[in-house]
Amino acid sequence: MIIPNKLKQGDEIRIIAPSRSASILSDEGVQTAKERLENLGFVISFGKHVFDKNLQNSTSIQQRVEDLHDAFADKNVKGILTVIGGFNSNELLPYIDYELIKKYTKVFCGYSDITAIGTAISTQTGMVTYSGPHFSSFQMRKAQEYQTHFFKQCLMQNEPFELKPSEHWSDDAWYLDQENRVFENTVWKTYNEGTVSGELWGGNLCTLNLLQGTKYMPIIENAILFIEDDEMTIPETFARDLTSLLQNAQSIKALVIGRFQRASKITEEQLLFILDKHPMLKTIPVLYDVDFGHTQPMFTFPIGGEVQIAAEKGSLKLVRF
């Protein structure tokens, strides 16, 4: 896999909206996120159509593709952050100029619905993309230190490093109330022990599964899968989606599951019941309640990169990213 050049202070980061529009953010939120990234030493610019919106708080396929292509083709731009997730980034996949992206490789980062477009870019160009904070994620004040630390570790340096658990985590609507937040102690948990290394694929589970049957779906056999889902899932749908992905892979090296939101009702009892259904998961390393997905804070990880897992220690190390 091609590793894009790492970001450095003084680099320009382009903000684009391949899913929902930035119009859903407050002016204060946009300014806060922009200033926080500028304080890290970056120059921030915005795509032409980032603040436009249609009936579903997005923009046309043509407008979103235009901003994506402009961001990659602009030689001054060294990294690309998505505004936020949503529901429709997979609409863009047949219209993307993947040869253009391969010619101008650069950091591309986002999560949730962005799993579709990031994965498609990786499969079609051989370039590593990143599952990590959106532009909107940098509005968050409390727990921002952890998120920013691993964003910088993954996107601004080359040396292998360990992903470590946060001290505490939250599932509250921080974007509505930054002050009155509720945090809990973080514990990464082991379902099955083992040590392994391999290529990493994954992201948001229901979004990744949208790619099955298309040329954009990666070959995940013998890969290490990182998966998570949001508050719209429930135990039954997560079980169905996980089964579909495992049947696609037939065999994987390891499974790492991001922490669930409370609204999903996927308790530890429910999750263990689901995992117990699959004999293959009793023979490979499996971790869960890990710091990525739709709870805060989150770390950044490379789609198509290489990771080492020592599940009995709860250890994750990014090797090539």
What does the chain come to in residues?
A: 321
162 part of the active site: no
- Nearest Cα to Cα of residue 32 among 114, 165, 140, 190: 140
Q: Which DSSP state fits 49?
A: T
Which one is catalytic: 137, 228, 264, 306?
228
Which one is catalytic: 112, 122, 131, 264?
112
Which one is catalytic: 136, 166, 294, 306?
294
Coil/strand/helix, residue 111: coil
231 part of the active site: no
Q: Which DSSP state fits 252?
A: -
Given a contact cutoff of 8 angstroms between Cβ atoms, the answer to whether 251 and 221 are in contact is yes
Q: Which two tokens stand for residue 31?
A: 């300014």
66 part of the active site: no
Q: Which residue has the tokens 């032409």?
A: 48
For strand 286-290 and strand 254-258, is the pairing parallel, antiparallel, or unpaired?
Answer: parallel
CA distances from 253 to 123, 129, 148 (A): 19, 21, 29
Q: Which DSSP state fits 171?
A: -
CA distances from 60 to 17, 88, 135, 239 (A): 11, 10, 20, 33
Given a contact cutoff of 8 angstroms between Cβ atoms, the answer to whether 102 and 126 are in contact is yes
**Residues involved in catalysis:** 112, 228, 294
